Structure 1
Amino acid sequence: MHISVMGELDSKAETDRLLECINENRGYEIHITFLDANIVTREIVEKIIKLQERNKCKVFVLKAYLYSYFLSLGIKCFFVKKKSILNKDWESNEKISCETFEPEKVEEFLRDIYDKYGFDFTEYRKDSIIRRIKISMLRYCITCFEEFRELALSDQDVFEQLFLDFSINTTNFFRDPEVFTFLKDRVLLCLDSYSHIKIWSVGCSNGKEPYSLAIILKELGMLHKVQIYATDINPYVIEEAKNGLYSIGTIDADIANYKNAGGSKNFTDYFDIAKNYIKVKDEFKENILFFQHSVIEKGILNEFQLILCRNVMIYFDIPLQRKVLRHFYNSLDAGGFLVTGKSEGLLLNDGYEYFVDYNERYSIYRRKN
C-alpha cells in the first residue's frame, strides 16, 4: 500500500488522518512518500519506527530537512533527489566571484525577500549573509549572484533552502554547562521569591536549551511556577522542539554537560530511551510554550524575569543589536536578568544604557531600574 503526503501536516486532523490511513492498511507493507513536508509530529515518527521494526514500512522523502531529521532518529528512508533546476553539472574550474556581491545588490535582494516571503534579514551582518548565499549557490551549481537571486525569488523551494542556510541551529543540552551552573546557583535562586516566573528562550532552535532549563527548575523544585516561552524564526526547528525527540548519538556528551552543569540526578531520568533516540518526558512540555517568532519584527513579548538570547545577536549588525537590546529591556521586569552568548558583549551596542553587569564572565546582565 502506498500513501502520499502532499504537503505539510499543519493540523492535528491531518496528522490523525495519516495515522488512520496507516492503521487501515495494517498487515500490508506500507510505502509512505512525503512530497513537501519538512517535519512531522512525534506520533507519526513513532508509528513509522514501530512499523520499521517489523519491516512493514518504507519511507521516501523529497525534502532534505525531513530526510536529515528521520535519519537522526534512526528511521531508514530514501531521499528522492530532484534534478538540478538548471539541468547542469558543476564545473570544477568555476568559482564564485566576490565581485558579484555588491552591497547594494545584496541589500536589494534582502528587501525583495522580505517583500515576497515576509522574512527580514536586511539588518543581519552582510558577511554572514553573503557566506550563506554562497553555500546555497554552490548547492544549485550557480556562480552568478544575479542568476541565483532571480531563482530564489521565483522558486519557493530554492528560497526555502536559502532560508534554512540563513537559520543557524547549533545547540546542545546544557550548552556551556558553566553558564547553567551559575544560573542554577545564583540567578534562579534569586528569582525563587516570585510566585510566578516567566522565562524567554530566544532562538531556542530545536528546544534543547528550554528543556535544559526545565530540568534544572525541576531539580530546584521551581518548575511548577515557571512558564518558559521558547521562540525561533525557523518554524521547522520549532516543530522539532515540540516533538522532543533527539538522536541518541549525542547521549554521552549530553550526560557530561548535565553533570558539569551541576545536575544532581541521572540525565536519562528525564527521558524515555529508545534504540536510536531519546524522548523528553511529557511533564517538561507542560511548562514550555514553543512558537515561531522573530525578535526583529515582533519584538516585545510579556514581562519576563529572565531572558536567554545566546549566540543569536552575533549574526546581527550593530544597529539591529541595539534595537534588540532595547526590546529585551522593555520585555523584562525591573531587575530582570539577560543572558547572552559568551562572545556577545554589550559595550559596543550601547547595552549599558539598559543593563548592568551581573556576571561579566558568563555574559549575564540585569535590567536597569
Structure 2
Amino acid sequence: MTEARFTPLRERHESLGASFTDFGGWQMPVRYTSDLAEHHAVRQSAGLFDISHMAEFTVEGADAASYLDFALAGRLSTMTAGKAKYSLLLAEDGGIIDDVIVYRLAEDRYLIISNAGNRDAVAAALAQRVGERATSVEDVSDAHALIAVQGPASEAIVSATEGITDVSTAWDEQKYYAWADALFDGAPLLIARTGYTGEDGFELLVRSEDAAALWDAVLAAGESHGIVPAGLAARDTLRLEAGMPLYGHELSLTTKPAQAGLGRVVASDKDAFVGKDAVVPTDGARVLVGLSADGKRAGRAGYAVVAEDGAVLGEVTSGALSPTLGHPIAMAYIDPASAEAGTTVFLDVRGTKIPATVTALPFYRRTK
C-alpha cells in the first residue's frame, strides 16, 4: 500500500479542524467547517485553498519553445514572458493524458503545472518527447507549495499580505492568465492570476519551507475581508458551476479535446505535435454538455442520462445541487443528436427519471 502524502500545510489544516480525504494519493482537506459556507465565501469575498498537491515541472533550454509546441496540443512558442496558457498533453491516439497550465518565465524557460494524480504520467511523457532537442525537463514539485486565494476580495487580500514585496507588475496591470515575480520574506514567490473557481484570484507558488508562513500571512490579511480556508468540496462545486473540467471526470485518456469542448485549445495548424493525427473524434462520439434541473435531487457522476423512452443517451461526469444557483446542475457526455441547448433529457436518479435541460456552459459567470 502506498503511503499517504501530506502537503507542507498539514499542521495548519489540522489546527483549523479540517476533515481530510484522499485525492491523487494525497491527504487533502475536504472541508473545515461547512461546504456551503466555504463555497459562498469564495463567491462573496474570498477563500484560501491549499493546492500544494499539484505537480510542477520546469522546461528550459534553447529549444524549449519548439519542444513545447511538439509536446503539447497548444502553441506555446508565441506566448510572451509574463503570460500563462491552458493546454493539453495528448497521447498518440489523441486522448488526454492531462490538462495543464504553462507559464512562460523567460525566453527559454517555462513552468508547467499539472494535476497531482497524473504527475508520473506527465513526467514520463514530457521526458520521452525531448528527443535530441536542447531542452531539459525537471520535476520540481517537492520543492514548492501552491496556495490559491480566490474570490472578489482576492486582489485586496494578496496585495495587503505582509511579507510580499518587490512585485514585478502593478496589481491593476496584472491580467487574468498572467503572472508576476515577487518576494515573500525575501524568498522567491510567483504570483499567478489564475484559478479554478470561476472567480478572480491568484495562485501563489512558494518554496515548501515558506508555505506555512505565507498561509498565515494571507489569512491575517484577509481577516477583515471575510476570508475562510476552503477545502476540496467547495472547490468542486465552484469549478462545476464555472463549467471547468476535472481530470478523471470530464477528461481522460479515452476523451478527445473536441468532445470536451476544448477543440479551441488545440493548434491543429501546427506542423507536428503528439496526437495530431488522431485528435479528431469519430463521428457520433459523445460530447460534453451542461444539464440543469429543477428541485433538489442532483445527478451524480456515473448516473445515466436517458431519453423519455428510457434509451441511454450518456452519463453524468459531475453533478451537484448548485449552492449559488439553488438548483441541480451537472456535466455529462451524451450523444450529439441530443446535445443542442434547450433539449430535454432525463437523469436516472436511483430509478427515478428527473427531467433536465441541456444548458450552455458555464452555469455561472462572474460579472466583473
Q: TM-score range by the shorter chain?
A: under 0.3
TM-score (norm 1): 0.23
TM-score (norm 2): 0.23
Q: Which has the higher helix share?
A: 1
By relative contact order (CA 8 Å, sep 6+), the higher-ranking structure is 2
**Which protein shows a greater Rg?**
1
